[in-house]
Structure 1
Amino acid sequence: MIANFLRYLAYERRYSAHTLTAYEADLGQFEAYLQETYALADTTAVTHLHLRSWVLALVEGGMSTRSVNRKLATLRSYYKFLLKREAVQQDPTVKVRAPKVQKGLPHFVQEAEMDRLLDNIPFPDTFEGWRDRLVLELLYGTGIRLSELLQLRVSNVNLHEGVIKVLGKRNKERVIPMAKPLQELVRKYIGSKSAAFGADSSAHLLVTDKGEQAYPMFVYRLVRKYLGTFTSSEKQSPHVLRHTFATHLLNRGADLNAVKDLLGHSSLAATQVYTHNSMEKLRKVFEQAHPKA
């Protein structure tokens, strides 16, 4: 049934390969737990007690509540699918309560540090130098996700209109504007890429030193290299630059709905987490400036 479920997600729901891999891993882990703990090989024979036992085992094993809830969400989707296909008589996840997640504020880079990072790094006038700068500028200048950055093609860039077309989660397409300096950087990078690898180089915008499509760890290492040198941010990942993009926009008065659309969030609640950082800044200004504070 798991194979049928994955095919349903791939062909009917059109989930991305990355999401399918995560679902498959979660279900495989649960299936292995059932076999090892209960000698149970049939996921359709599961009760809420089996599920509670698994959730408890994950929590006691040190897994974060956020990761546990993601796995539980996978099982909810799976058993909802089985219920619709009449493979089970009732959904065992209904009686399972998700662990409460301790919400933390997104990590971001301060504006002064971001300026120092982009203004003071001596990027060499080579393909690698233009590529490294482009990665940092695109993540910070557009707020796109790492997966979206890696899937960008040269054809997704419209320099005439100054926008990029991004394919986000659930294959939702959105158009993001680029500032003029970023447009010029993209233009120079594309020229450098063609000069380095020829007109028949990879159709993907971002490539490695060998001209092949860039991959997640390649970008992680690149971002950590520069953030670690010029910022005091505790976390140094591509996603931190996405958080920084959203926080800086809101700090400067951007409309929350506009930021939501730029980030590709499906609900406003996902974007509102960034307002906490903005509110902290306003509170400090108030306490320093108001005579009754």
Structure 2
Amino acid sequence: MIESFLEHLRYEKRVSDHTLTAYRLDLDQLAKYLLFQYELATPETVTPPMLRSWIVSLVEEGLNPTSVNRKMATLRSYYKYLRRKSHILKDPTQGLSSLKTRRKLPAFVEEKAMTLLFEEVPFPEGFAGLRDRLLLELLYGTGMRLSELIGLEVGQVDTESRLIRVMGKRAKQRLIPISPSLARLLERYLPERVPDESTPALLLTDSGKATYPVFVQRTVKKYLSAVTTLQQKSPHVLRHTYATHLLNRGADLNAIKELLGHANLAATQIYTHNSIEKLKKSHQQAHPKA
């Protein structure tokens, strides 16, 4: 049933390979626990106390609440699928409560630091420097995910209309507008782009192959290290930066949701906390009674 469930996720829900791997690991981990503790061969015969016992064991091992909650989400999804397929009569996850977690504010780079990056930090001459700059400007100028950037193809870019068509999670497409300066950068880059084979990927390595996650992560970390002391210097930080700067400049939260490709507004609302923190600092610095 686990394999059947994963096939359902892959072909019907169209989840990413990364999500599939996580779900498989979670369910395999549960199956091993049940076999060791209760001599049960399959997770389908589990009872609510058994699931609570597994969750307690994860906490005792030192797993953080966020990771435990993610595993619980896997269980809920799995048993919901079994119930729908009539393999179980009762859902053993009903009544399970998520663990309390501290809400972490998304890390972002200050506007002045991003200005410094693109105006003062030197990029190498030739194709490599042009590619590095485009990579950073795409992440900061569109807020796309790392997987979306790597999957971006030449045919998805329209410099005349200043739009990029992005393939997001679960194969959902969205259009992201780009600035005139980013459109001009793309027009400079495209004639220099020479793939060593007929790859449609927009961003290429120095050898002409499509970029890959570690390449992008290294590039982002290298350049962000020149302008910020943030501990996190990842492509996702630039996505957070894009959203936070839009919100700080007065963008509508629903518009930001669409640009980021979030499924619901709750995922976008976390960026309002950064803006509130900024308002608090301004109040503390400026108000006589703060």
1:203 and 2:200 aligned: yes
**Conserved in 2, the CA contact under 8 Å of 1:201 and 1:211?**
no
**Conserved in 1, the CA contact under 8 Å of 2:130 and 2:189?**
yes
| Count of aligned positions | 290
The code of the aligned residue for 1:257 comes to: N
The code of the aligned residue for 1:70 comes to: R
Distance 1:97 1:136 in 2: 40
What's the offset of the Cα at 1:291?
5.3
Deviations 1:141-187 (A, max 9, x none): 11111111111111111111011001112222110001111111122
Deviations 1:239-265 (A, max 9, x none): 111111111111111111111111111
Q: What secondary structure sits across from 2:226 in the alignment? A: helix
Q: Which residue in the other structure is 2:120 paired with? A: 120
1:265 and 2:262 aligned: yes
- Change in Cα spacing, 1:262 to 1:85, as seen in structure 2 (3 Å) is same
Q: Which residue in the other structure is 1:221 paired with? A: 218
What's the offset of the Cα at 1:234?
2.2
**Conserved in 2, the CA contact under 8 Å of 1:136 and 1:223?**
yes
What's the offset of the Cα at 1:10?
1.7
- Change in Cα spacing, 1:79 to 1:186, as seen in structure 2 (3 Å) is same
Q: What secondary structure sits across from 1:229 in the alignment? A: coil
Q: What secondary structure sits across from 1:93 in the alignment? A: coil
**Conserved in 2, the CA contact under 8 Å of 1:16 and 1:171?**
no
Q: Which residue in the other structure is 1:246 paired with? A: 243
Q: What secondary structure sits across from 2:115 in the alignment? A: helix
Distance 1:175 1:283 in 2: 34
Q: Which residue in the other structure is 1:21 paired with? A: 21
> Cα RMSD (Å) of the superposition?
1.7
Point out the more displaced range, 10-19 or 256-265: 10-19
The code of the aligned residue for 1:74 comes to: T
Q: What secondary structure sits across from 1:124 in the alignment? A: coil
What's the offset of the Cα at 1:292?
5.4
Q: Percent identity?
A: 54
Deviations 1:195-221 (A, max 9, x none): xx36x5410112223322222222111
Q: Which residue in the other structure is 1:106 paired with? A: 106
Distance 2:129 2:36 in 1: 51
The code of the aligned residue for 1:31 comes to: A
Q: What secondary structure sits across from 2:108 in the alignment? A: coil
What's the offset of the Cα at 1:267?
1.6
Distance 2:273 2:80 in 1: 35
**Conserved in 1, the CA contact under 8 Å of 2:121 and 2:226?**
no
The code of the aligned residue for 1:15 comes to: V
Q: Which residue in the other structure is 2:54 paired with? A: 54
What's the offset of the Cα at 1:109?
0.6
The code of the aligned residue for 2:147 comes to: S
1:237 and 2:234 aligned: yes
What residue ranges of structure 2 are gaps of 5+ in the alignment?
A: none
The code of the aligned residue for 1:270 comes to: A
**Conserved in 2, the CA contact under 8 Å of 1:145 and 1:239?**
yes
The code of the aligned residue for 2:162 comes to: G
Deviations 1:38-70 (A, max 9, x none): 332211111112211222222222222112111
Q: TM-score, normalising length from structure 2?
A: 0.94
Deviations 1:52-111 (A, max 9, x none): 122222222222211211111111111111111111121111122111121011111111
What residue ranges of structure 1 are gaps of 5+ in the alignment?
A: none
Instruction: Map 1:27-38 to 2 at 5 A.
Output: 27-38=27-38
Distance 1:87 1:187 in 2: 56
- Change in Cα spacing, 1:190 to 1:31, as seen in structure 2 (3 Å) is farther
**Conserved in 2, the CA contact under 8 Å of 1:117 and 1:231?**
no
